[in-house]
Amino acid sequence: MWVMDSGAAWTMTPRKDLLDAVRAPPISEVRSASGHAVKVAGVGRAAFRAPDGGLVVLKDMLLVPGLKANLISLRKLGQAGVSTTTNGSKTFKGLRGDRVLWDLHESRDVFRSMWQIPALIWESTKKELGEVKAGSGVQGECNAVSAAGVTVSARSGETDWETAHRRLGHVAMPLLQQLHKEEAVKGLKLSGQPNDTKCETCLLSKFTRFPFHGVAGKSKAALELVHMDLVGPFPFRGSKGERYFLTIVDDWSRLMWAYPLKQKDHAASTIRDDWLPFVERQSGHPCKSIRTDRGGEFLGGDLTAWLKKQGIEHQLTTSYTPQSNGVAERANRTILETARALLIESGLGNSMWPHAVRHATVARNRVLTKVADDMWVPLERWLGKKPPVDMLRVFGCMAVAHVPKPYRTKLGASALWCVHLGLAAESKGWLLWEPSKNVLFDSRDVKFVENIMYGKWEKQPEARVTQQLEEITMHFDLSEPEDSEVTAPTASGTDEGSNEDIAADAEVKDPEQQQQEASKTPSLPKRRKQIGGGTKDWVKVKEWVNPTIYPACTRMATRKLLSSTSGGATTEQQEQAQGEDAVLFLGDDQESDDEEPAYCFYAPIQPPSMDHALAGPQRGKWLVSRDAEYNSQMENHTWDLVYLPNGKKAIQCKWLAKIKTDEKGEPSVYKSRLVAKGFQQKEKEDYKEVFSPTAKSPTLRVLLAVAAVRKWKVKQMDIVTAFLYGIVEEEVYMVQPPGYEDGTGRVCKLNKAIYGLKQAPRCWYNRLASALEGIGFRASACDESLFLMGEGESLVLLLVYVDDILLFSSSDKEIDGVQQKLTEQFKCKSLGEARYYLGMHIERDTERGWLKLHQGQYINTLAEKYSLQEEREVVTPLPSEFKLIKAAEGEGVESEDQRQFQSMVGSLLYAAVHTRPDISFAVGQLARVVQNPTEEQCGAAERVVRYLKSYPTVGVQYSASAQLSQKGVEVLKENGEQLGEGKVFLSCFADATWASEHEDSSSVSGYICMVGGGPVSWRSKKQSETALSSVESEYMAMFHAAKEIIWLRRLLKEIGHEQTCATPLFSDSKGAIAMARNAVLHGLNKHMRIKWHWLRKEVKLGTLDPIYVKTQQQPADFLTKRLAEEPHWRCARMAGMSLN
């Protein structure tokens, strides 16, 4: 008797005679409900008959001699895609698709079989199952893996009708029956009878039908007439920015090709350079006629002239009558309907449409096509041989890919879960997507779980999955049939599947043949090495794809891709390879002693929602994190559950998931956060004041510079769930958190400031400020996020950015005392010495007395985000020919590229503001055209990212030994300043480039203020008023620098380092210095507004001391103009940037 047990974690039996292929068990014991431990003797397989006579194999069944009955785990069955149903008559059915696996009734709180299932004698069933290796599953089609625990058998190599229908892109059942009956393709072995049940996916994707009357094909040979059309634009982009696809149909064979494209004008080059040369060589026939509509993509450019030159007739449809290009239109509809069905069934996001289109085309080329009164398989007619279909698998199904030995230590298992996206373009295998790292790759060693689609997939905790995957053997013979030497072009619809980068990727040879590219300078990071040695099924790690689970930014401008030869890529080719992909090998287990594995490291991708996080490989960690956050809310009495008063509205809330990283970029915290949807709040009803101060970037750098000079301690701490300590003064209601509703219909009346509320930051700041004042701190008058306590050696500085806190003091004892007092009021986490703050690395050598601030991890992540990590290095932010010219309306890039440009400029701005003054001018220029960028400006933004990627750890550095330049020392000595160890000095450089803006002849000014030998504040800005001379522009630049100097002097005074002499303000304009000192040149500046002459007042007061320096000694020069390599890096060195 078999017992269906909903509480059992494993399928178990006490009888060894029921099991086949018994091997060592993965666990040593199991525990009963009473807690009693029972030894496990082994693990194997058992089987029983389904009502229809089919065989159901239970895999990974434990042999437990102490059991009283055979237990079947309902949990395991559920993981295998088996659904269970019950009704009032207590019947209990197990279904897999439409197939009934059992029909049971309920008895004594356990489910017992209505019919006796005797043990099957395994020797008598081997012929039915086929010879099976222990632990490898059923030979032929693999319908489940060990994690699922069940296999429904068919004859070896056979496929059921439903799976074949799905593999072939949801082909119509009558066509499938005819395909099978006439043996029109190879490898189509079907078991059972066709299912008349309507496919729900087909109903959803193909419901609307439009009559379309085509004309019978009259061509007598391949390429005699070819139909073409362009589909798009789609409202969503593919993984490489595709918004269109080009459909090509050979009239004679009806073979189809589909080329996803980024832009319409790429259609002509695709036809001319990619498709036509290939098909003519492969088919042996010249193309005679091409039929298209009158779209600009076919009539524009030089395509028409080129076709005429080649002797190819270009037939055009009648205006506004697409029916006259009916073959192409019908192909479009067929591909779209099929792709739509694939996306609906798979649950993949719309941005996966290029893969669905390719798979749809591949499948439809292997299905009978009716032309007039005749029917044939397009690919068979093209090749002259029956095409195989046994390599096709269900699009979007889950799969398990083998991981070679050299990578198991990094990937943590001998196999990994992934999603099937169709046939691979460059290898004899399949294209797969690994969701947790969001990576596309090819592999030939794969097992497919075709009844489990990505959209409905929920995995076990990572540790359990890893244990089970290591037991899987995955080596299939995927060698192509003997008739595969003649192939169609490497685009969708051919034997080799699809080609994402049609012009380049198909030509990439064995990476062993490619040369290594050396670093340009010692300061550049080493490139990843490529692995050679033997023929490998190599995996291309594409740029980040853009499915629903992980949104990504794609490349904006068309790039020339790598084209290698069998002799290896030249240096010139590699320099031109601006779009080449990183290469990772997952093909075999051979180890090489002389080559270092090319491991790929990526920063963790932030899940866009909690739902996606819970569907990923870290589900267990996210559940624990979410519970911890909810418990914090309860402990903090964040809300009271009440019934919503009349006239009030409850705002919604949601869970956010964020991965926090350490200074090495490794995940350190899986943070769940409950946030209110504050955009639903109403001003003056739900909130009043919302402003909350946060730490200014110059304040942080000043404190770090002083810490380097004075050898202060710098420690970091974090307030756990900080916003929850803020008190909400208004009456705000919120729905109960998703996943924690109590079913009463009550809502949360907020007592504390939950994240997402408009007033939450202000509430938290007020609560923290009150607490700090209570223990003796006072807020700074220069920066309200800075708090001070004590004086002299007992001085403690506290800088807060929301819930991240830095503490500065000369004494560990003082800092520890403050941390202890804060812990008494808040739940705090001490992080020790500050190493990583707000995405910035803090590196320090206390013995040598220097401190460095850089954003290496952020920059590398930025390069990966925009798929620029493998681009060649550049030595300056902007090219020498760059000029900022605003585009006229309608001449800029498309809206999607515009949004990405804006995103890129915003990301660059974060680096420019915090640690990279060397890109400030470039980012300032690009920021002026974010509303309507051109292709050139988009390329310039990419170049700035490439520049940062070339030097990711360049940053700002401070030390006591490099406090002042030689010129600064001379000036201070002249002013009678005593120079000694531990003294902190402020200096500033100001510069301007007159009338450099082409549109309005305005000037650009810049300044750099320095403490401890490094920059603490800088700015590059277009001047608001037009200067009539270079002297005026320099004078205005000094004015802006003077304002910053005044603020910095006040800040330094507050923290105990008052500047006792005038701050030197260096300029390379003698005329501007003369104007700042006296009212000279009155005739030249009498028109200037009075505000500019405030500078002269500060000079007279002795606050500032304008000093002349030569242009070659002016570091602010690179804030005002584009410079060549040598002067650019000279300015960076003089500005106190660390170049190593």
Residue 765: band (very low, low, confident or very high) from pLDDT cuts 50, 70, 90: very high
Residues 1068-1077: tens digit of each pLDDT? 999 889 888 8
Q: Is the dihedral of CA 698, 701, 702, 703 positive or negative?
A: positive
Instruction: Quote the pLDDT of residue 844.
Output: 93
Helices 935-950 and 856-865 pack at an angle, to 10 degrees, of 140
Residues 485-537: tens digit of each pLDDT? 333 333 444 443 333 332 322 232 332 333 333 333 333 333 332 222 322 22
**Lowest pLDDT segment from 8-22, 387-401, 999-1013, 1050-1064:** 8-22
Side-chain-side CA neighbours of residue 924 (13 Å): 23
Closest among 414, 448, 415 to 431, alpha carbons compared: 448
Cα–Cα distance list, 92 to 10, 46, 357, 364 (Å)? 20, 21, 41, 40
The amino acid at residue 404 is P
**Lowest pLDDT segment from 517-526, 542-551, 601-610, 1047-1056:** 542-551
Residue 546 has pLDDT above 70, yes or no: no
Q: What is the largest CA-CA distance in the chain?
A: 111
Residue 620 has pLDDT above 50, yes or no: yes
- Residue showing tokens 């029921």: 18
Instruction: Quote the pLDDT of residue 172.
Output: 77
Instruction: Quote the pLDDT of residue 102.
Output: 66
Tokens coding 364? 């439809």
What is the average per-residue pLDDT within 311-315? Answer: 91
What is the average per-residue pLDDT within 934-945? Answer: 91
Cβ neighbours, 10 Å, residue 107:
13
Segment of 112-116, 209-213, 435-439 carrying the highest mean pLDDT:
435-439
Contact status, residue 854 vs residue 840, Cβ threshold 8 Å: yes
Higher pLDDT, 958 or 686: 958
CA distance 346 to 344: 6
Tokens coding 816? 């520890």
Cβ neighbours, 10 Å, residue 1064:
25
CA distance 691 to 445: 57
What is the average per-residue pLDDT within 756-767? Answer: 90
What is the average per-residue pLDDT within 263-281? Answer: 88
Higher pLDDT, 942 or 616: 942
Closest among 170, 654, 576, 75 to 394, alpha carbons compared: 170
Instruction: Quote the pLDDT of residue 880.
Output: 76
Q: Specify the 3-state DSSP secondary structure of 771.
A: helix
Helices 895-914 and 920-927 pack at an angle, to 10 degrees, of 150
Higher pLDDT, 106 or 893: 893
What is the average per-residue pLDDT within 321-336? Answer: 79
Residue 764 has pLDDT above 70, yes or no: yes
Eight-class DSSP state of 1088: S
Question: How far is C-alpha 128 from the geometric centre of its chain's CA atoms?
Answer: 46
Residue 462: band (very low, low, confident or very high) from pLDDT cuts 50, 70, 90: very low
Q: Any bridge partners for residue 159, and if so which?
A: 190
Higher pLDDT, 117 or 956: 956
Residues 219-261: tens digit of each pLDDT? 888 999 999 999 988 877 887 788 899 999 999 999 999 999 9
Q: Is the dihedral of CA 1092, 1098, 1100, 1104 positive or negative?
A: negative
Higher pLDDT, 1136 or 37: 1136
Closest among 905, 873, 883, 872 to 1122, alpha carbons compared: 883
**Lowest pLDDT segment from 73-82, 758-767, 1106-1115:** 73-82
Q: What is the DSSP string of 122-185?
A: HHHHHHHH----TTS-SSSS----TTT-EEE--STT-EEHHHHHHHTTS--HHHHHHHHHTT-S
CA distance 759 to 757: 5
Question: How far is C-alpha 607 from the geometric centre of its chain's CA atoms?
Answer: 9
Segment of 211-215, 887-891, 977-981 carrying the highest mean pLDDT:
887-891
Instruction: Quote the pLDDT of residue 973.
Output: 63
Contact status, residue 257 vs residue 283, Cβ threshold 8 Å: no
Helices 462-469 and 619-635 pack at an angle, to 10 degrees, of 170
CA distance 390 to 401: 18
Closest among 523, 545, 645 to 1129, alpha carbons compared: 523
Tokens coding 601? 């490291």
Instruction: Quote the pLDDT of residue 114.
Output: 30
Residue 479 has pLDDT above 50, yes or no: no
Side-chain-side CA neighbours of residue 345 (13 Å): 30
Contact status, residue 58 vs residue 149, Cβ threshold 8 Å: yes
Q: Specify the 3-state DSSP secondary structure of 272.
A: helix
Cβ neighbours, 10 Å, residue 34:
5
What is the average per-residue pLDDT within 445-467? Answer: 63
Query: Which residues lie below 8 Å from residue 390, measured CB to CB, with a gap of 6+?
Result: 157, 186, 187, 188, 189
Query: What are the φ/ψ torsions at residue 563 (nearest 5 degrees)?
Result: -130, 105
Instruction: Quote the pLDDT of residue 920.
Output: 94
Contact status, residue 239 vs residue 543, Cβ threshold 8 Å: yes
Tokens coding 728? 């909400």
Tokens coding 38? 């029972």
Query: Which residues lie below 8 Å from residue 957, measured CB to CB, with a gap of 6+?
Result: 850, 851, 852, 853, 1013, 1014, 1136, 1137, 1138
Helix (H) or strand (E) holding 25, with range, is: none
Helix (H) or strand (E) holding 37, with range, is: strand 37-39
Instruction: Quote the pLDDT of residue 1130.
Output: 93
**Lowest pLDDT segment from 214-228, 776-790, 926-940, 1048-1062:** 214-228
What is the average per-residue pLDDT within 680-688? Answer: 81
Q: What is the mean pLDDT of the chain?
A: 75
Instruction: Quote the pLDDT of residue 111.
Output: 38
Residue 371 has pLDDT above 70, yes or no: yes
| Percentage of residues of the chain with pLDDT beyond 90 | 30
Higher pLDDT, 476 or 1120: 1120
Q: Any bridge partners for residue 84, and if so which?
A: 94
CA distance 96 to 454: 17
Tokens coding 337? 């309907």
Q: Specify the 3-state DSSP secondary structure of 792.
A: helix
What is the average per-residue pLDDT within 94-100? Answer: 66
What is the average per-residue pLDDT within 721-726? Answer: 85
Contact status, residue 169 vs residue 256, Cβ threshold 8 Å: no
CA distance 198 to 168: 16
Tokens coding 363? 């499948």
Q: Strands, DSSP E only, in 706-821?
A: 713-719, 733-734, 747-750, 778-779, 786-789, 796-801, 804-809
What is the average per-residue pLDDT within 964-984? Answer: 65
CATH number of 962-1138: 3.30.420.10
Residue 181 has pLDDT above 60, yes or no: yes
Contact status, residue 229 vs residue 325, Cβ threshold 8 Å: yes
Instruction: Quote the pLDDT of residue 320.
Output: 54
Cβ neighbours, 10 Å, residue 651:
22
Residue 816 has pLDDT above 90, yes or no: yes
The amino acid at residue 1074 is A
| Percentage of residues of the chain with pLDDT beyond 70 | 70
CA distance 731 to 699: 36
Instruction: Quote the pLDDT of residue 563.
Output: 27
Question: How far is C-alpha 887 from the geometric centre of its chain's CA atoms?
Answer: 31
What is the average per-residue pLDDT within 271-281? Answer: 88
Query: Which residues lie below 8 Å from residue 1113, measured CB to CB, with a gap of 6+?
Result: 965, 967, 1066, 1068, 1134
> For the chain, what are the domain ranges?
2-140, 173-383, 610-801, 962-1138
Residue 484 has pLDDT above 60, yes or no: no
CATH number of 2-140: 2.40.70
- Residue showing tokens 């790429």: 266
Residue 59, by phi and psi: left (phi above 0), alpha (psi -120 to 50) or beta? beta
Cα–Cα distance list, 481 to 386, 485, 638 (Å)? 10, 9, 66
Fold type of domain 173-383: Nucleotidyltransferase; domain 5 (3.30.420)
Instruction: Quote the pLDDT of residue 1086.
Output: 59
Task: Give buried/exposed letters for 455-467 (b at 16+ CB in 10 A, else e).
Answer: bebebbebeebbe
Higher pLDDT, 666 or 636: 636
Instruction: Quote the pLDDT of residue 523.
Output: 35
Eight-class DSSP state of 53: S
